[in-house]
C-alpha cells in the first residue's frame, strides 16, 4: 500500500539530453527516486488498449511543467496486471501539514477517512480502487511493479504517491518509524476495496478496467487528467 527514485546513470544521462536546458533540474530530481539495480527489461505488453509505444515502462520521469511531480508506467508482467493505461504519480515533499489537516483534506474531497500504518511486506495490489499514500513519518523503500519489471522507490515524510488499480507494490525496508496515511476515492471504485496477491482472474481484470481515474488530487490539489497520458 503503500519516493525518491534513483534511475540508473544511463537513464539520467538520457533524460538530460532529451529535456530542454530549463527542464534539466527536473531530470536531475528524478534520480532521487530510483534505486540502482531495480530497473528491468520489459516483457511483451499484454493489457494495452491503444498505441503506447512512446512510454518508457518502469522508468520514473519528471512531469514537465509540474515541479516535483513524477510518473512511472508499469505493464503486465505475466503475473501481476499493473496498469498500462495509467501511471503511478509521485510528488516530492508535497505536504507539510499535520495528520489531522491531511485527514480533513481527504474527507473534504470525498476520499475515505485514511488509515495510518505501513505497507504490506509482500506483493499486492487493489483491483477495485485507486490508492493515495501520504508519508507522515520516517522513510521506506517500496518496490513498485513487481520483481520482473519493477522499480524501487524511496518515499520520505511529506511525499505523496497515487497508485492506480492493478499496480503491485511491496515494502522492502523502512526506518525512522515509517508511517503513512492511506485513502481511497468514495466514488469511481469498481467494488469494495480489495487486496489481491496473485495473478488476476477475469473479474479482477474487469474491475481494473472499470475503475474511474480521479481527476483531482486532494493533497496535491492539482488536475490529474493532463498527466495520465
Domains and CATH numbers, the chain: 9-228 (2.60.120.10)
CA pair distance 86, 32, nearest whole angstrom: 22
What would the grid cell of residue 191 be? Answer: 467494488
Q: Provide Rg for the chain, Cα atoms.
A: 16
What would the grid cell of residue 111 be? Answer: 476520499
Distant-in-sequence, close-in-space partners of 207: CB < 8 Å, separation ≥ 6: 127, 128, 165, 190, 191, 194
Give the pLDDT score at 8.
35
pLDDT of 7 higher than 90:
no
Give the pLDDT score at 65.
80
Report the range of poorest mean pLDDT among 39-53, 150-164, 174-188, 200-214: 39-53
Half-sphere exposure of 161 (CA within 13 A, CB side): 31
CA pair distance 82, 165, nearest whole angstrom: 7
The average pLDDT across 99-110 equals 95
**H or E, element range at 229:** none
Counting residues of the chain whose pLDDT is more than 70, the rounded percentage is 76
pLDDT of 68 higher than 80:
yes
CA pair distance 184, 11, nearest whole angstrom: 33
Give the pLDDT score at 34.
55
pLDDT of 46 higher than 50:
no
Pairwise pLDDT comparison (105 vs 20), residue with the higher score: 105
Give the pLDDT score at 110.
94
What would the grid cell of residue 19 be? Answer: 529535456
**The three-state (H, E, C) secondary structure of the chain, written as one string:** CCCCECCCHHHHHHHHHHCCHHHHHHHHHHCCEECCCCCCCCCCCCCCCCCCCCCCCCCCEECCCCCCEEEEEECCCCCCCCEEEEEEEEECCCCCCCHHHHHHHHHHCCECCCEEECCCCCCEECCCCCEEEEEEEEEEEEEECHHHHCEEEEEECCCEEEECCCCCEEEEEEEEEEEEEEECECCCCCCCCCCECCCCCHHHHHHHHHCCCCCECCCCCCECHHHHC
pLDDT tens track for 108-167: 999 999 999 999 999 999 999 999 999 999 999 999 999 998 999 999 999 999 999 999
Phi and psi torsions of 127, nearest 5°: -90, -15
Amino acid at each position: 500500500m503503500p519516493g525518491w527514485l534513483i534511475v540508473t546513470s544511463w537513464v539520467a544521462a538520457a533524460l538530460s539530453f532529451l529535456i530542454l536546458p530549463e527542464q534539466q533540474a527536473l531530470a536531475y530530481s528524478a534520480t532521487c527516486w530510483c534505486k540502482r539495480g531495480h530497473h528491468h527489461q520489459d516483457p511483451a505488453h499484454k493489457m494495452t488498449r491503444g498505441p503506447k509505444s512512446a512510454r518508457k515502462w518502469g522508468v520514473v520521469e519528471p512531469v514537465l511543467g509540474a515541479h516535483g511531480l513524477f510518473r512511472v508506467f508499469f505493464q503486465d508482467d505475466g503475473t501481476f496486471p499493473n496498469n498500462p493505461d495509467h501511471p503511478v504519480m509521485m510528488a516530492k515533499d508535497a505536504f507539510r501539514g499535520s495528520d489531522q489537516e491531511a485527514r480533513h483534506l481527504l474527507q473534504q474531497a470525498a476520499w475515505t477517512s485514511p488509515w495510518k500504518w505501513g505497507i504490506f511486506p509482500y506483493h499486492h495490489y487493489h483491483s477495485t480502487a485507486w490508492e493515495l499514500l501520504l508519508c507522515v513519518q520516517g522513510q521506506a523503500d517500496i518496490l513498485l511493479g513487481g520483481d520482473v519489471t519493477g522499480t524501487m522507490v524511496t518515499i520520505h515524510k511529506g511525499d505523496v504517491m497515487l497508485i492506480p488499480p492493478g499496480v503491485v507494490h511491496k515494502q522492502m525496508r523502512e526506518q525512522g518509524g515509517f508511517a503513512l496515511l492511506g485513502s481511497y476515492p468514495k466514488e469511481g471504485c469498481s467494488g469494495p476495496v480489495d487486496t489481491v496477491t496473485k495473478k488476476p482472474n477475469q473479474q479482477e481484470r474487469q474491475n481494473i478496467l472499470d475503475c474511474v481515474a480521479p481527476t483531482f488530487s486532494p493533497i496535491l490539489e492539482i488536475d490529474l487528467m493532463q498527466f495520465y497520458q
